Structure 1
Amino acid sequence: MSPARVASGAAGRPKRPTMVDVAREAGVALRTVSRVVNDDPTVGPANVAKVQAAIAALNFRPDERARQLRTGVTGAIGAAVRRIAEANPALAAIERTAGAAGLTLLAASTDFDEGREREILTSMCRQRLDGIIVEPIGESHGYLQPELEAGMPFVAMDRPMSGISADCVMSDNASGIGMAFHHLHEHGHRRIAYIGDSERVFSGRERAGAFRAALRSHGQPVEGLVHPGELTPERVAAALDAALHGAKATALVTGNMDTTISVLRLLGREAAGRLAIVGFDEVPLADLLQPALTVVAQDTATIGRTAVELLRKRVADPSRPVQSVVVPLELKVRGSGEVRG
């Protein structure tokens, strides 16, 4: 086999070797090189060896853009999640699962901004990705309907996408709130309050609704004990004051990690230790608090893994029925929820 020689391109830069160069180096037909590159099992071993040796000698790399145009598959998926800068266990699970399947993950943070979410999703649709996983923020995703009809698969994670019909994986919100409420009730509390996210958000609406249902099922009044709303420090502070001083609550369920952290900061170490609290979502360093924080923990690893699996199934069979997967939660008892009423 002759030494590899590849002509120089414009401005003296080496020209990337092509399949024509490989065919010439290997002494075989161009079609044979194409079949070897595309793992055609009908190529004879001798020709496979010649082509592979030529590829190594020339340091040839197949043109991924050409393969993508030919197959319509990029081997890349997108993920539009609410946060990247902070720890995101679900995104980590997506990355692991995608990597194990030979997929490249392109992720972007919407930062809880509906306009930014729209920009990111529109941009991702233009990138010829195989599909997109979304932690939805916007109230309607109807603008993605043309993309869906053109064959772009979407999978919603944590809450459904509104305005389009897409696969979804999320936690059993109602069951989790029920776990938290009944745990506090079993420890003697009869004035249990809830502070959570806005009911404009699907998960916030589900969790607040489940808490109202729990109160009613135990014959307790709803007024003054349920406080959904925007997650600003001022709003959470007002809700905490209304719950503890207005409604005289002796126990508290917080509707997500951000609410839990805000409440703990507002209470301070001593007051937090005297109030029974169960948080929805795991909180970093929850086991180091005094008492350690009892939480309803989402199985984020399963959620992330399932999102990728649903996306791959949709890519393989675009006509399959839309599927929603609800993932169970776990009550992690650590101390804060066991403070007696």
Structure 2
Amino acid sequence: MPARRRPTMRDVAHEAGVALRTVSRVVNEDATVGAPLAARVRDAIAKLGFEPDERARQLRSGRTGTIGAAVRNISDAHPVLKAIDDTARAAGLTVVAMSTEDDEQRERDAVMSMTRRRMDGIIIEPIAENHQYLKPEIDSGLPVVAFDRPATGVEADAVLSDNRAGIETAFRHLAGHGHRRIAYIGDDERIYTGRERATAFRECLRSSGTPYSGLVHTGPVEPDRIAAALAATAGATALITGNVSITVAVIRALGPDFGRRALVGFDDFPLSDLLHPPITVIAQGVTEIGRTTVELFQARLADPGRPVQTVIVPTTLIVRGSGEVAP
């Protein structure tokens, strides 16, 4: 099915029954347009789903509303972004990255700012519970690829870690070292990865015949919440942490004695091999995730009508010491 044409200012003018110049003045927030006329134009904009072309505004004003920032290494704390940037550069593509800080409105503002600038497409690490705001853009042919979490409410390509297999591997590893009471401290379950990993852990407990009451603690990465979870799981001989932020927060909360309980963290991180004991982790295939994300983007750009694809990237257990502490 051919992509739906994006509505233009001419379409808005026709729908509202006004001159093209009037639409332009309303879009540019000209206060001299009468309120009833402006309301008709805004109603037509909402009905058609019109988004102003940021490039046209830039040509008129001579300004882009953006700042170029060349810093030493924006991807130090985001290895998947580094892999995306490396793969994109090799393909002759330029990546413009914006941070959402796990905030739904900030995500939407960032993504829609990019679409108004008519970028070739969007690569997104989703945080919102629903991404239907992207449907008009996808229907118009905009390539959208999600990584780490799927975009919800729309049909979009995605590259995900094998979250469930990673948690199962961590649980089996600890059980194999004699642990019978294993606890899980994870991320907020409104987030896809937090929900998937916590669900997988509950299934591990169920399969082992262990009641999971009191052994599963999920929520925001906040010191008080982490401290409360550790206190509630004091009887567990082993811990699985749901992501690198949780792992670091747990180590910080436990202090120098963190090695008294066995620990397997989901995600690898710098210096994890230098702690005492070094941290056993379930490592995500960050390079493969980044490379595959860009490859799916290129494929979607070349063939907008191709079937939507979800790629699951395997995880790897890296044994270092903390996950091998005896009960």
TM-score bin, normalised by smaller chain: 0.7 to 0.9
1:257 aligns with one of 206, 219, 244: 244
Report the residue type matching 2:100 in the other structure.
Answer: T
Deviation by residue 1:185-228 (Cα, 9 ceiling, x = unmatched): 00000000000001101111100000000011111111000111
Change (3 A) 1:104 1:85: closer
Contact 2:279 2:322 in 1 (8 A): yes
Alpha-carbon distance, 1:85 to partner: 7.1
Match in the other structure for 1:328: 314
Report the residue type matching 2:144 in the other structure.
Answer: F
Deviation by residue 1:297-317 (Cα, 9 ceiling, x = unmatched): 001010011000000000100
- Partner Cα separation in structure 1 for residue 91 and residue 228 of structure 2: 48
1:279 aligns with 2:269: no
Report the residue type matching 1:170 in the other structure.
Answer: L
What is the Cα-based RMSD across aligned positions, in Å? 1.5
Is the partner of 1:92 in helix, strand or coil?
helix
**Bigger CA radius of gyration:** 1
- Partner Cα separation in structure 1 for residue 141 and residue 128 of structure 2: 21
1:225 aligns with 2:225: no
Is the partner of 1:295 in helix, strand or coil?
strand
Equivalent residues in 2 for 1:163-182, closer than 5 Å: 163-182=153-172
Is the partner of 2:107 in helix, strand or coil?
helix
Match in the other structure for 2:120: 130
Change (3 A) 1:158 1:234: same
Alpha-carbon distance, 1:86 to partner: 5.1
Match in the other structure for 1:23: none
Match in the other structure for 2:88: 98
Name structure 2 gaps, 5 residues minimum.
1-54, 56-72
Contact 1:84 1:108 in 2 (8 A): no
Equivalent residues in 2 for 1:1-341, closer than 5 Å: 84=74, 87-244=77-234, 248-270=235-257, 272-341=258-327
Contact 1:184 1:337 in 2 (8 A): yes
Alpha-carbon distance, 1:165 to partner: 0.8
Is the partner of 1:307 in helix, strand or coil?
helix
Identity percentage of aligned residues: 59
Contact 2:280 2:319 in 1 (8 A): yes
Deviation by residue 1:243-297 (Cα, 9 ceiling, x = unmatched): 11xxx10000000000000000000112x12110000001220001111000000
Is the partner of 2:312 in helix, strand or coil?
strand
Aligned residue-pair number: 257
Q: Which runs of 4+ in 1 moved over 6 A?
A: none
Name structure 1 gaps, 5 residues minimum.
1-64, 66-82
Deviation by residue 1:137-179 (Cα, 9 ceiling, x = unmatched): 1111111111111111100000100111100001000000001
Report the residue type matching 1:268 in the other structure.
Answer: G
Report the residue type matching 1:220 in the other structure.
Answer: T
Q: TM-score with structure 2 length normalisation? A: 0.77
Is the partner of 2:111 in helix, strand or coil?
helix
Deviation by residue 1:65-108 (Cα, 9 ceiling, x = unmatched): 9xxxxxxxxxxxxxxxxx95752111111111111111111111
Q: Which has the higher contact order (CA 8 A, sep 6+)?
A: 2
- Partner Cα separation in structure 1 for residue 75 and residue 207 of structure 2: 41
Is the partner of 1:102 in helix, strand or coil?
coil
Is the partner of 2:95 in helix, strand or coil?
strand
Change (3 A) 1:118 1:165: same
- Partner Cα separation in structure 1 for residue 311 and residue 84 of structure 2: 16
Is the partner of 1:265 in helix, strand or coil?
helix
Report the residue type matching 2:315 in the other structure.
Answer: L
Contact 2:124 2:144 in 1 (8 A): yes
Report the residue type matching 1:317 in the other structure.
Answer: D
